[in-house]
Structure 1
C-alpha cells in the first residue's frame, strides 16, 4: 500500500509526484479508514512499544532509575527524529503536511503509553489517560487538516 494519503488537494492529475511514487490518474481519493491507516506511523510506534517493553522488563527501573529515565527520553527523541525521514524516504510520502501530522501522531501515541512522560512528576496512569483521550481528538483534527 502506498503511504501517501490521496486527498482532493494532492490528487494526481498526471505523471509522477515530484519525487514520490507514481499514482494513477483518477478522481478517487482515499476514504476515511485508508487515510487513518496511512496517517499512523505504525512502524515507528511498533519500535517504540518494543523498546519501551524491553526497558520496563529490565532491571533498570529499580536498579538504575536515572539511566532508565535517560534511556526512555533518548529512545523517544530518536524515534521522533527518525519518523519523518522514515516516512519520506522509506514510505515515499511526499506531503510534508502528512509527514508532520504523522510525527504528531507518534507523540500522542507515545504519551498514551506513558514512557518518559510518566517521569515528569505526574502519576503515569494520569499521563496514559490524557494520551488515550488525545488519540481520537488528534485523529479527528488531523484528518480535518489533511482534507482542507
Structure 2
C-alpha cells in the first residue's frame, strides 16, 4: 500500500473501490513517522554524548539529513504511475518533520534567545490537528 493520499473516488477503472481518505487516514499519511523515529533516536544519542562532542553541529547536520530523508521517502512512497508528483503531501510531510524537531529538541533551538519549549509543543498540536484538513489537489 502506498502512502499517497486518495482525494477522490473514481467512478470507473481499477480504482473504483478505493474510497477517498478521511481525516484520520490523511493525518497518518502526512506525518513522516520513519523520519520522526530517526530524529528521536539520533538526537537522543547526540544529546547524551559527552561534553567533547560538538552536539549543536551534529544536531543541525542530522536535522538536514532527516529533512532530506523525509522529502525523498515521501516522494518515493507517493509516486504512482500516471499521476503527478504529490507536492502538497511532500511539503506537508517535510513541514511536519520540522515541527516535530522543533517540539522535541530544545538543545537544537536553545541558541535562539526567545525559544521556549512550550512553543514547540503548542505548534506540534496545532500543526498536527490542522494538516489533516488539507486535501491535496493532486489526483
TM value normalised by structure 2: 0.80
Q: Distance in 2 between matches of 1:31 and 1:147?
A: 12
TM superposition shift of 1:144: 2.8
Task: Report the equivalent of 1:29.
Answer: 20
CA contact 1:69–1:119 (8 Å) conserved in 2: no
Cα distance change on mapping 1:7 and 1:119 into 2, 3 Å: same
Q: Which moved more, 1:102-111 or 1:28-37?
A: 28-37
> Is 2:125 the partner of 1:136?
yes
2:96: which partner in 1?
A: 105
Q: TM (normalized to structure 1)?
A: 0.76
Output aligned runs, 1:1-148, within 5 Å: 1-8=1-8, 11-12=9-10, 24-26=15-17, 28-59=19-50, 62-64=51-53, 67-89=54-76, 91-93=77-79, 94-114=85-105, 115-122=107-114, 126=116, 128-146=117-135
d(CA) in 2 for partners of 1:4 and 1:145? Answer: 13
Indicate if the aligned counterparts of 1:6 and 1:29 stay in contact, CA closer than 8 A: yes
Question: Aligned residues, how many?
Answer: 131
The structure where helix makes up a greater share of residues is 1
Q: Unaligned regions of 5+ residues in structure 2, if any? A: 80-84
Give secondary structure in 2 for the equivalent of 1:132. helix
What's the RMSD between the two structures over aligned residues?
Answer: 2.3
- Does the C-alpha gap of structure 1 residues 63 and 146 become closer, same or farther in structure 2, counting only changes over 3 Å? same
1:13 to partner: Cα distance: 5.7
Residue 45 of structure 2 aligns to a residue in which SS? Answer: helix
Q: Which runs of 5+ in 1 are unaligned?
A: 16-22
1:72 and 1:130, CA in 2 relative to 1: closer, same or farther beyond 3 A? same
Give the distance between the partners of 1:92 and 1:130, measured in 2 at CA: 31
